[in-house]
Copies of this chain bind each other. A is one copy, B any other.
Amino acid sequence: MDRTKLEQLLSEVKSGETSIDQALKRLQSLPFENLEYARLDLHRDLRQGLPEVVFCQNKTPDQIAAIMGRLWDHHDRVLGTRADPEIASFVKEKLPDASYDPISRLLKLSRGDFPPLTDDVPYAMVVSGGTSDQPVSEEAAQTLEFLGNRVIRAYDIGVAGVHRLLDQHALLAEADVIISVAGMEGALTSVVGGLVSCPVVGVPTSVGYGANFQGISALLAMLNACAPGLAVVNIHNGFGAPVYAHLILRRIQG
């Protein structure tokens, strides 16, 4: 039951065409149709912070181009994640405005620019253990930027040489939220968690030798980190982490 229908029902009640009892019955019998509104509201609310996002993996090029095209008709910012190069080529042919980054595998459509970000704007920091974590790190960093946030990157600062990490101390200490991407034993995230007092979002990756078990070792390490300011998203979830950081940053900025 959309707004129009609800309006009509109330009109009928007012005019006496429909009795209060009848209206009561109809309203009670459709407790969830009302939610259609809430859904739209929710979408509107979310759109203020989040662009429309299409998870491209497991979808055909045709489906992706169609969905992104339809969204692009109605929205100013559309994001596609986990897009392989072939998918990107196909979509860019159909939607010439689209741009693609092969490292993060992000497909972006955007009208208008965000106003430039000054240095006093709260920022997220994206750190990673090694160069092999780059696809996930960049997916996180660019998603954050696409959502309009200020981002500082510090890659390849894993604890095999802990000094590389300590060099970043000042930047880390000032960050408002940190996304820490790490494979192998995921110790980078623990050490970062011990150094800072802002929330840290850990993203485990599957980088490493045999007993990494597709990211389980990094995942378990982060879940068991002794530092309390640390929460974790799924292995390789380079999209969930920046959305999480974005939700925090948005609240900080009021």
| Selected contact of A206 from candidates B31, B33, B190, B210, CB within 8 Å | B210
- A234 partner, pick from B166, B169, B214, B224, beta carbons under 8 A: B224
Chain B residues whose CB sits within 8 angstroms of the CB of A229 once the complex forms: 243-244, 247
Interface of A is mostly: helix
Give the number of chain A interface residues (Cβ < 8 Å). 106
Name the distance in Å between A235's Cβ and chain B's nearest Cβ: 3
Query: Taking the full assembly, how many copies of this chain does it contain?
Result: 8
Q: Are the C-beta atoms of B163 and A45 separated by less than 8 Å?
A: no
Question: Does A164 contact B235, Cβ atoms closer than 8 Å?
Answer: no
- Complex: A193 Cα to B36 Cα, angstroms: 18
The answer to whether B209 and A213 have CB atoms under 8 Å apart is no
Q: Which residues of B contact A7 (CB under 8 A)?
A: 20, 24
Interface 1/0 per residue, A12-40 and B, CB below 8 Å: 01101000100110011111111111110
A160 interface contact, C-beta 8 A? yes
Q: A198, B247: Cβ atoms under 8 Å?
A: yes
- Name the residue of chain B whose CB is nearest to the CB of A35: B163
A residues touching B (Cβ–Cβ < 8 Å)? 3, 6-7, 10-11, 13-14, 16, 20, 23-24, 27-39, 42, 45-46, 49, 57-59, 63, 122, 129-132, 158-164, 166-167, 169-170, 176-177, 183-187, 190-191, 193-195, 197-199, 201, 204, 206-237, 239-241, 243-244, 247-248, 251-252
